[in-house]
Chains A and B, each alone.
Chain A
Amino acid sequence: RKEVEQDPGPFNVPEGATVAFNCTYSNSASQSFFWYRQDCRKEPKLLMSVYSSGNEDGRFTAQLNRASQYISLLIRDSKLSDSATYLCVVNMHSSNTGKLIFGQGTTLQVKP
Chain B
Amino acid sequence: NAGVTQTPKFRILKIGQSMTLQCTQDMNHNYMYWYRQDPGMGLKLIYYSVGAGITDKGEVPNGYNVSRSTTEDFPLRLELAAPSQTSVYFCASAMNTEAFFGQGTRLTVV
Which A residues have a C-beta under 8 Å from some C-beta of B? 3, 6, 8, 32, 34, 42-46, 49, 87, 89, 96-105
Q: Which 4 A-B pairs have the closest CB atoms?
A: A43-B101, A104-B42, A102-B43, A102-B42
Select the stretch in B11-19, B78-86, B91-99 that faces chain A: B91-99
Cβ–Cβ < 8 Å partners of B97 in chain A: 32, 34, 49, 96-97
Closest residue of chain B to A95 (Cβ to Cβ) is B50
Given A44-B101, A46-B98, A46-B99, residue A100 in contact with residue B42 (CB < 8 A): no
**Contacting B102 at CB < 8 Å: which of A43, A96, A105?**
A43
CB-CB under 8 A from A43, the residues of chain B are: 90, 101-104
Q: List 26 A-B contacts (CB under 8 A).
A: A3-B59, A6-B42, A34-B97, A42-B103, A42-B104, A43-B102, A43-B104, A44-B43, A44-B90, A46-B98, A46-B99, A87-B43, A89-B99, A96-B96, A97-B31, A97-B94, A97-B95, A97-B96, A97-B99, A98-B48, A100-B45, A100-B99, A102-B35, A102-B45, A105-B41, A105-B42
Interface size on B, residues (CB 8 A): 26
> CA of A104 to CA of B38 in the docked complex: distance in angstroms?
10
- Complex Cα spacing A73 to B86, Å: 31
| A46 to B, closest residue via Cβ | B98
Q: CA of A107 to CA of B78 in the docked complex: distance in angstroms?
A: 31
How far is A99 from B58 in the complex, measured between Cα atoms in Å? 8
- Say yes or no: is B33 at the interface (Cβ < 8 Å to chain A): yes
A-chain residues with CB within 8 Å of residue B50 when the two chains form the complex? 98
Q: Which residues of chain B are near A42, meaning CB under 8 Å? A: 103-104
Chain A residues with CB under 8 Å of B26's CB are: none
Complexed CA–CA distance, A10 and B33 (Å): 28
Closest chain-B Cβ to A86's Cβ sits at a distance in Å of: 11
> Which residues of chain A come closer than 8 Å to B103, judged between CB atoms?
42-43
